[in-house]
């Protein structure tokens, strides 16, 4: 375990969650106060991390109470950007090219019917459209129009345990994320097939993108290949690198 010499060292070390760390520094909490508050020795990197992770889980629960039932604003169709920005953790030239005809969405965990779903089967589900704002943590936002099946409808159809805590996603590019069940059941959460009335282009996540307009962009997985329902907390690609897990907007 490495010693922490000063607050700068605290900042430099490891994957302590940025948001909470900043909040502490902004509010002028000294390391001594942090020790008092968390009851852990701040020269012990692991116990600092454990304490801050616990605070982040508490933050997730507060956000769940604040955001879960709220509807985000919707906009007229004319406000939807046609040439939407594409974003992923690597260059656009490397996005997955998924073969639709052989595609199957894998299901696992607390689901009654874990039969994989083909695209024609998914497309046959009732669909709806939404015009909402996508907000990326990197500092840009855009209004877009997405079309797909309300995620709640799909969860009900597969016999998911709706009292479970989390729904997790795995993507063709190695990306992964998970959301709380209340957000999964939120009426504006859609499993989408289209953007701007057109089948998702590869750069937008063909064939499936989960649209969660109540959360930041990184909680909207593209190129979903598998999903699972669970009571065990599982993070996400950016979440495990320090972004707050709930990330409500
Ligand atoms: N599989 C996968 N999904 C992902 C990402 C990614 O890198 N891989 N990036 C996320 C981020 S940070 C954003 S802002 C949105 C961008 O979605 P868009 O390309 O449709 O605008 O996708 C999210 N979903
Ligand atoms: Mo993002």
Are 130 and 76 spatial neighbours (Cβ–Cβ below 8 Å)?
Answer: no
Pairing of strands 106-109, 224-230: parallel
Is residue 171 within 6 Å of ligand 1 at its C-beta? yes
Is residue 176 within 6 Å of ligand 1 at its C-beta? no
Structure tokens at 163: 């009292």
Query: Which residue has its alpha carbon closest to ligand 1 atom 21?
Result: 86
Mean pLDDT of 77-104: 98
Is residue 136 within 6 Å of ligand 1 at its C-beta? yes
Structure tokens at 220: 């909207």
For the stretch 101-111, pLDDT in tens is 999 999 999 99
Tokens 């709640």 label which residue?
Answer: 152
How would residue 53 be classed by pLDDT, with cut points 50, 70 and 90? Answer: confident
| Gap between the Cα atoms of 27 and 163, Å rounded | 37
Are 75 and 133 spatial neighbours (Cβ–Cβ below 8 Å)?
Answer: yes
How would residue 67 be classed by pLDDT, with cut points 50, 70 and 90? Answer: confident
Beta strands in 20-165 (DSSP E): 106-109, 128-136, 140-150
Is the confidence at residue 10, as pLDDT, over 80? no
Is the confidence at residue 3, as pLDDT, over 60? no
| Gap between the Cα atoms of 142 and 230, Å rounded | 32
| Gap between the Cα atoms of 118 and 114, Å rounded | 13
Closest atom of ligand 1 to CA, residue 216: 14
For the stretch 102-142, pLDDT in tens is 999 999 999 999 999 999 999 999 999 999 999 999 999 99
Which listed CATH number (3.40.50.720, 3.90.420.10, 3.30.230.10, 3.30.200.20) goes with 1-249? 3.90.420.10
**What is the chain's alpha carbon radius of gyration, rounded to the nearest angstrom?**
20
Which of 87, 134, 178, 212 to probe ligand 1 with, by most ligand atoms within 8 A of CB?
A: 87
| Gap between the Cα atoms of 208 and 186, Å rounded | 18
pTM: 0.84
CA atoms within 13 A on the CB side of 39: 2
Between 77 and 32, name the one with better pLDDT. Answer: 77
Closest atom of ligand 1 to CA, residue 171: 1
Are 195 and 146 spatial neighbours (Cβ–Cβ below 8 Å)?
Answer: yes
| Gap between the Cα atoms of 132 and 39, Å rounded | 43
| Gap between the Cα atoms of 106 and 170, Å rounded | 9
Pairing of strands 176-180, 166-171: antiparallel
How would residue 33 be classed by pLDDT, with cut points 50, 70 and 90? Answer: low
Closest atom of ligand 1 to CA, residue 238: 12
Structure tokens at 111: 């689901």
Structure tokens at 66: 């604040």
């Amino acid at each position: 375990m490495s010693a922490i010499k000063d607050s700068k060292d605290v900042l430099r070390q490891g994957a302590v969650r940025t948001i909470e760390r900043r909040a502490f520094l902004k509010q002028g909490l000294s390391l001594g106060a942090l020790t008092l508050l968390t009851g852990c020795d701040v020269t012990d990197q692991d116990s600092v991390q454990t304490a801050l992770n616990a605070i982040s889980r508490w933050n997730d629960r507060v956000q769940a109470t604040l955001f879960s039932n709220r509807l985000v604003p919707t906009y007229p169709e004319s406000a939807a950007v046609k040439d939407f920005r594409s974003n992923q953790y690597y260059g656009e030239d490397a996005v997955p090219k998924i073969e639709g005809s052989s595609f199957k969405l894998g299901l696992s965990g607390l689901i009654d019917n874990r039969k994989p779903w083909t695209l024609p089967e998914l497309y046959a589900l009732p669909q709806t459209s939404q015009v909402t704002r996508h907000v990326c943590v990197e500092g840009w936002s855009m209004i877009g129009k997405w079309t797909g099946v309300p995620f709640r409808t799909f969860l009900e159809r597969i016999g998911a345990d709706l009292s479970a805590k989390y729904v997790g996603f795995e993507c063709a590019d190695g990306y992964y994320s998970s959301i709380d069940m209340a957000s999964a059941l939120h009426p504006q959460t859609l499993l989408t097939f289209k953007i701007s009335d057109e089948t998702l282009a590869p750069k937008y996540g063909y064939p499936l993108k989960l649209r969660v307009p109540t959360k930041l962009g990184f909680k909207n997985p593209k190129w979903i290949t598998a999903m699972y329902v669970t009571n065990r907390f599982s993070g996400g690609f950016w979440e495990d690198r320090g972004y707050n897990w709930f990330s409500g907007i």
